[in-house]
Amino acid sequence: MSTLQAEFVEADHVVSAGRSDSSSLHRINDVNVEVTSPSATTYHGNVGLVDGTASTSGGSADGLNTVENVFVVSPEAGIWTVDVEAVEINQDAVLGTVEDDVTFALVVTGGAAVTTSGIGDVRVRPSAIACSQTLSVRVRDGNVGSSSLTVDVSSGTETTPETLTLLETNTGSGNYVGQITTTTSAAAADGDLSVSDGDTVTVEYTDADDGMGGSSIARQDTGAVDCSGPVISNVWAPDVTDTEATLSWVTDEGSNSTVEWGSAIPPDQLDPRAGNVTTHTVRLKGLTDCTTYFFSAASTDAVGNSTVDDNAGSYYLFTTQTRTDGQSQLAT
């Protein structure tokens, strides 16, 4: 039984939020691997591998780990595509270039490398789109025969497409790339794409010749626009001891977790956690017994929309318990 394997490792310098336990460790940059089958089934890195030994389709990109794998058992015949997407670059790994770079390794086994075919393929990235963001559009088509091509880009807000010119990366490569910026400004033929929260962005490319007898075939890819921050609810401290406290909240979409906390208002301590979850838990340690602490909960989604819940400026609070030995940590 054959298996298609894509193994990706990013050379990310994991940092700690001032604590020694592993829960405080989080990545700096966010780079993900995505594998697409000939029938357009998408596999994200690590999805399905927590509970099994084979990847499952769908799900979402892994925003936490710097090592990602895709294992597809008995892959269908045809051309598979492996994409590496830089979602968030916070630290440049190659200082000798003008651009912000990351370093990574990618190994794919179970197939044979092929040159770009005549079957056109169009992609827009990221697929989760913010209201003010630069989108990358890529077309692979091996028989265009020119150094550029055009695609139409539209949205629910700007229904008359913007025409975007893509340039071939290397002569004869069949790989064409270009960029377009989203905006909340009124729709106009200005080279930018106007969007609103909840829109679908559509990129369409006309494949004049698919190399298999087909002509003028419309190829499409879409992305979803998200301009709203996560909705935070059920903020509380379900477990409090004399020196530790667990803080918890729920969001309506996957996002990270950040707690601002301290013994006065406004709090002066920050505890961020990377991740993409809807149930958030942050454990605080090293607290002083018999002390009231104030805190707020904050979450940022995959496209950078943030929400802070500080209880309308009053902040949430909890009070640590009395030490069981009857002595305060402040006693001398």
155-169 mean pLDDT? 96
Backbone Cα Rg of the chain: 24
| pLDDT at residue number 12 | 72
Question: Is a pLDDT exceeding 90 seen at residue 283?
Answer: yes
Q: Which of 156-165, 172-181, 207-216 has the lowest mean pLDDT?
A: 207-216
- The residue among 212 and 163 whose pLDDT is bigger is 163
- The residue among 91 and 188 whose pLDDT is bigger is 188
| pLDDT at residue number 1 | 64
pLDDT band at 172 (very low <50, low <70, confident <90, very high): confident
| The residue to which tokens 């004049």 are assigned | 208
CB atoms within 10 A of CB 300: 18
Retrieve residue 214's tokens.
Answer: 């087909």
Instruction: Check: CB of residue 29 under 8 Å from CB of residue 90.
Output: yes
Q: What is the largest CA-CA distance in the chain?
A: 87
| pLDDT at residue number 331 | 36
For residues 199-238, one letter each, b for 16 or more C-beta atoms within 10 angstroms of the residue's C-beta and e for the rest, the string is: bebbbebebbbbeeeeeeeebebebebbbebbebeebebe
Highest mean pLDDT: which of 103-107, 120-124, 158-162, 210-214?
Answer: 158-162
Domains observed in the chain: 1-114 (2.60.120.380), 116-227 (2.60.40.1930), 232-319 (2.60.40.10)
Contacts of 119 (CB under 8 A, 6+ apart): 79, 141, 207, 210, 211, 212
Question: How far apart are the C-alpha atoms of 99 and 96, rounded to whole Å?
Answer: 9
Q: Which amino acid is at 6?
A: A
Instruction: Report the DSSP beta bridge partners of residue 207.
Output: 217
| pLDDT at residue number 20 | 41
| pLDDT at residue number 86 | 81
Contacts of 328 (CB under 8 A, 6+ apart): 289, 290
Percent of the chain with pLDDT over 70: 90
The alpha carbon of 268 is separated from its chain's Cα centroid by a whole number of angstroms, namely 29
Tell whether omega for the bond before 266 is within 30 degrees of 0, i.e. cis: yes
Q: What is the pLDDT of residues 222-256, one digit of tens each?
A: 999 999 999 999 999 999 999 999 999 999 999 99
| pLDDT at residue number 166 | 96
Average pLDDT, rounded, for the chain: 87
Q: Which amino acid is at 278?
A: T
Retrieve residue 207's tokens.
Answer: 């494949």
Closest CA to 291 of 248, 329, 235: 329
Question: How far apart are the C-alpha atoms of 212 and 216, rounded to whole Å?
Answer: 12
| pLDDT at residue number 213 | 84
| pLDDT at residue number 92 | 78
161-184 mean pLDDT? 92
Question: Is a pLDDT exceeding 90 seen at residue 25?
Answer: no
pTM for the full predicted model: 0.64
Closest CA to 67 of 96, 32, 117: 32
14-41 mean pLDDT? 67
Question: How far apart are the C-alpha atoms of 265 and 254, rounded to whole Å?
Answer: 28
Question: Is a pLDDT exceeding 90 seen at residue 174?
Answer: no
Contacts by 37-41, CB closer than 8 A, 24 or more apart? 37/72, 37/75, 37/76, 37/78, 37/80, 38/76, 38/77, 38/78, 38/79, 38/80, 39/76, 39/78
